[in-house]
């Protein structure tokens, strides 16, 4: 193929060897419809195909997401409503998918088998150009949204895309991402949720859905990509003869306009009853210029990977150490304040230093361990909850007591021997249920009751 050559209704517009793909990239245009075709001609045995459409949303009804689902629910030549599921079950393809992006929708697959490639290509082309959803409203309702009544209950909204997006927006991270898009692109289509916002999806009617299909899912608005070692001319002949050659030229969708840079602060309150109190989520976002500046975009991507994404990246590592240092500082400060305050109150009532040390000081210095273990247990991090307590006691007995006695010998009173014996006793009480692999509520209650009883004994002593 050479520039200017016409092949089965297509004209070669540009041909260029690209070292990164180890082959030629050939840009073509279908003469009667204006459909774009990109051929990446190399010796890769993994033959790949993609048909895509520029799909620019005008709202957050998720119409293109619903379209992506719906066209794969049967077509004129392949009426099976479970077509996509059966493709993945019976095809030899390594990759089969359909993806809705903020400004385009694509249907890609990859396979090494030539016959499988032709079959899949025909299934995909028939699905996007001849879908049954154009005459079967039930497909739209199933994949998009519909009212559902069960057991005399009030009608509820249901639908594949509707439920999927409800799951997406059950995360505050997704809500933050949506707010960032609205803030950065307030005048373009990127301010909308291309996948559909749950509260907005039911505003889409079947008639509007069909109009969107006719406007965007046509040959003049499509791009086809062929990749790998294949009989390109045979494929182009088939596409023109069976599909594109029978279609008319229409007006393609216009690309999204560029957004002028914006700046400022945007606040969004989330529902605490729905999400709980998860604190503050914040994002600092920058406009980095035109996406066509590939060198800058690649440089930014590499930089962000190096700074943020990798396990050894400086930003996550720094945040880990910041969290540890701040946590330890708060533990030390909080414990010191609790001990000073409680000791002052205890001395006002004339209590002994031994009693203060075994109760007030012990409680004050152990409050961080209590909070840490409760939080870890609630999050299911059981090893941290248990290790925190055992490690803290080992640290206190072996290291703190050991270092203190090395610096200054510590006299041991007779009452301290009794306290040590009690310590050994509760260790045995802990060991008996722990050896079964679980510390249940009953042993926990017994251990808490033993502490209350021992504290009462100390006061009376």
CA distances from 309 to 152, 184, 301, 312, 314 (A): 51, 23, 10, 8, 9
List 14, 20, 68, 207, catalytic entry: 68
Q: Known catalytic residue: 29?
A: no
Helix (H, G, I), strand (E, B) or coil at 75: strand
Which token pair is 449? 């009751």
Helix (H, G, I), strand (E, B) or coil at 333: helix
Which token pair is 186? 């307030």
Task: Give backbone dihedrals phi and psi of 171, rounded to 5 degrees, phi first.
Answer: -105, 130
Q: Decide: 77 and 126 in contact? Cβ < 8 Å.
A: yes
Which residue is listed with tokens 């004129």? 76
Helix (H, G, I), strand (E, B) or coil at 82: coil
Phi-psi sector, 298: left (phi>0), alpha (psi -120 to 50), beta: alpha
CA nearest 87: which of 60, 123, 47?
A: 123
* Number of residues assigned to the chain: 461
List 112, 138, 143, 312, catalytic entry: 143
For residue 28, give the DSSP letter. E
Name the percent of the chain in helix, strand, coil, to the closest 5.
55, 15, 35
CA distances from 235 to 378, 400, 443 (A): 58, 78, 73
CA dist 189 and 260 (Å) reads: 13
Q: Known catalytic residue: 68?
A: yes
CA dist 164 and 143 (Å) reads: 10
DSSP 136-201: -HHHHHHHT-EEE--TTPPPEEE-HHHHHHHHHTTSHHHHHHHHHHHHH-TTSGGGS-TT--TTTG
CA dist 192 and 108 (Å) reads: 24
The catalytic residues are 68, 143
């Amino acid at each position: 193929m050479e520039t200017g050559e016409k092949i089965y209704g297509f004209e070669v517009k540009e041909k260029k060897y690209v070292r990164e793909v180890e082959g030629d990239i050939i840009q073509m245009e279908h003469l009667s419809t204006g459909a774009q075709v990109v051929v990446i001609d190399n010796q890769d045995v993994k033959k790949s195909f993609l048909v895509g459409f520029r799909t620019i949303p005008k709202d957050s009804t998720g119409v293109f997401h619903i379209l992506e689902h719906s066209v794969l629910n049967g077509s004129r030549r392949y009426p099976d409503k479970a077509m996509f599921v059966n493709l993945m079950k019976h095809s030899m393809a390594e990759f089969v998918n359909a993806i809705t992006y903020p400004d385009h929708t694509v249907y890609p697959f990859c396979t090494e088998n030539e016959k499988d490639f032709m079959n899949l290509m025909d299934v995909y082309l028939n699905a996007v150009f001849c879908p049954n959803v154009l005459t079967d409203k039930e497909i739209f309702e199933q994949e998009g949204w519909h009212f559902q009544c069960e057991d005399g209950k009030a009608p509820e909204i249901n639908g594949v895309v509707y439920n999927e997006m409800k799951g997406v927006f059950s995360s505050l991270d997704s809500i933050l991402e949506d707010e960032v898009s609205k803030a950065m692109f307030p005048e373009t289509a990127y301010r909308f949720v291309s996948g559909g916002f749950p509260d907005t999806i039911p505003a889409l009617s079947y008639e509007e859905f069909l109009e969107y299909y006719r406007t965007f899912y046509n040959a003049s608005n499509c791009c086809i990509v062929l990749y790998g070692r294949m009989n390109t001319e045979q494929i182009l002949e088939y596409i023109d003869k069976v599909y594109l050659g029978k279609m008319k030229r229409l007006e393609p969708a216009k690309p999204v306009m560029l957004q002028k840079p914006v700046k400022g602060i945007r606040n969004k309150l989330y529902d605490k009853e729905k999400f709980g109190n998860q604190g503050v989520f914040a994002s600092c976002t920058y406009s980095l210029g035109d996406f066509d500046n590939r060198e800058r975009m690649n440089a930014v991507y590499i930089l962000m990977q190096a700074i943020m994404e990798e396990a050894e990246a400086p930003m996550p590592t720094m945040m880990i150490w910041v969290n540890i240092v701040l946590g330890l500082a708060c533990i030390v400060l909080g414990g010191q304040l609790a001990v000073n305050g409680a000791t002052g109150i205890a001395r006002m009532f004339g209590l002994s230093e031994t009693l203060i040390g075994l109760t007030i000081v012990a409680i004050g210095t152990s409050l961080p361990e209590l909070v840490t273990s409760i939080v870890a247990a609630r999050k299911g991090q059981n090893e941290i909850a248990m290790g925190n307590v055992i490690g803290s006691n080992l640290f206190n007995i072996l290291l703190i007591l050991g270092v203190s006695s090395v610096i200054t010998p510590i006299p041991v009173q007779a009452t301290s021997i009794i306290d040590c014996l009690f310590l050994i006793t509760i260790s045995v009480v802990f060991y008996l249920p722990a050896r079964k692999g679980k510390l249940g509520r009953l042993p926990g209650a017994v251990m808490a009751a033993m502490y209350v009883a021992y504290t009462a004994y100390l006061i009376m002593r």
